[in-house]
Amino acid sequence: MKHAPVLLLNHGDTPLGEAVARLAVEKYRVAITGNDSARGNQLCSQMHAAGREAMFLETREGEGQDHRRNVDRIMRRWQQLDVVINLPRHISVGPFEATSAGQWQQQIHSQLMDTVHLCQSSLTALRHQQTGRILNVIIEYALLPSPLTACQSAMGAAIKALSNSLYAEMHESGISVSAVAIPLLAECADDIDASDPLSATRFRRLANQTAASLDEVSSAIYNAIDCDRSLQIATPEIRTQWRQKRWFRRRWEDALKQLGKRYRPR
């Protein structure tokens, strides 16, 4: 795999990241970044044992300079960077008034600004090569806001808007940037950052009820590398709701109000 393309997987030290990495390593040399060095290094060791090329690079939460350092290390080792996949890590839920200003700032820092820093660092290398792919993966609430997801919906929508803008801005440079919407998976339940225990229980239950499997979602993310669209939707369930929101908005809003009534009774 000496001349195989290179893929950077941000937050690859998660269950979803591991599933995507195992698909990607069949074609790519994979650089996994995250803050769980034990899990990341263990995953790389398993890939090395299978004769694949991979390395783990630690990224401290909210430290933008770590992305620059990691991209530099990738370029020094492999002299190229072809694909960047940015997976979600935190999922903020809870009543709007229960989410403090400090929690909003923390989510802006760990979600939106982390994505900005990763894109800035990656684009430096990709523009030098005049080709490349960036996928920013977002939870479905970015497209389909629901009660108790104000903060997460705002973060995801901002990342989607950033990705769409970069898609238009960078496309003629040979670089394609997309947002990929995925459902809340049971395997992501540990990353739910709830403002209160009841919200944590509700959303962990919702995650366990998701129709899509981890394998289905990881395959959709991996396949999105070869699809040149500014927004890609990973599952039929999200796609159906997205269409209903666009074309049958009154019905969609009525359903949301009923859900809000159930979550926030008078």
pLDDT in tens, 68-83: 999 999 999 999 999 9
Residue 185 has pLDDT above 60, yes or no: yes
Could you report the per-residue pLDDT of 115-158, keeping only the tens digit for each?
Answer: 999 999 999 899 888 889 999 999 999 999 999 999 999 999 99
The rounded distance, in Å, linking the Cα atoms of 190 and 207 is 10
Beta bridge partners of 8: 31, 84
Strand order in the sheet with 132-139: 54-58, 29-34, 6-10, 83-86, 132-139, 175-182, 231-233
Pairing outcome for strands 132-139 and 83-86: parallel
- The mean pLDDT of the chain is 91
- The residue type found at 257 is K
Tell me 191's DSSP state. Answer: G
What is the pTM assigned to this prediction? 0.93
Average pLDDT over residues 48-54: 92
- CA–CA separation, 186 and 206 (whole Å): 8
Q: Which CATH number do you get for residue 222?
A: 3.40.50.720
* Range 189-218 average pLDDT: 90
Average pLDDT (93-118) is 92
Radius of gyration of the chain (CA): 18
For residues 209-214, give the mean pLDDT. 91
Domain count, the chain: 1
Q: Are 8 and 122 in contact (CB under 8 A)?
A: yes
Q: Band the pLDDT of 1: cuts 50, 70, 90.
A: very low
Quickly state the pLDDT bin for 107 (edges 50, 70, 90).
Answer: very high
Rounded to an integer, the average pLDDT of 10-23 is 95
Residues 6+ apart with CB under 8 A from 116: 64, 162
Q: Look up residue 181 and give its DSSP letter.
A: E
CA angle 144, 196, 86 (to 5 degrees): 45
Question: Does a structural domain hold residue 227?
Answer: yes
Does 211 map to a domain?
A: yes
Confidence class of residue 2 from pLDDT cuts 50, 70 and 90? low
Specify the DSSP class assigned to residue 27: T
Average pLDDT over residues 4-25: 95
pLDDT higher at 20 or 59: 20
Averaged pLDDT for residues 239-246: 88
DSSP 106-125: HHIIIIIIHHHHHHHHHHHH
Residue 68 is predicted with a pLDDT of 92
pLDDT, average across residues 183-188 = 91
pLDDT over threshold 80, residue 63: no
Domain carrying residue 49? 6-263
Instruction: Find the mean pLDDT for residues 156-168.
Output: 96
Residue 255 lies in a domain: yes
Does residue 1 lie within any of the structural domains? no
Strands in the chain per DSSP E? 6-10, 29-34, 54-58, 83-86, 91-93, 132-139, 175-182, 192-194, 231-233
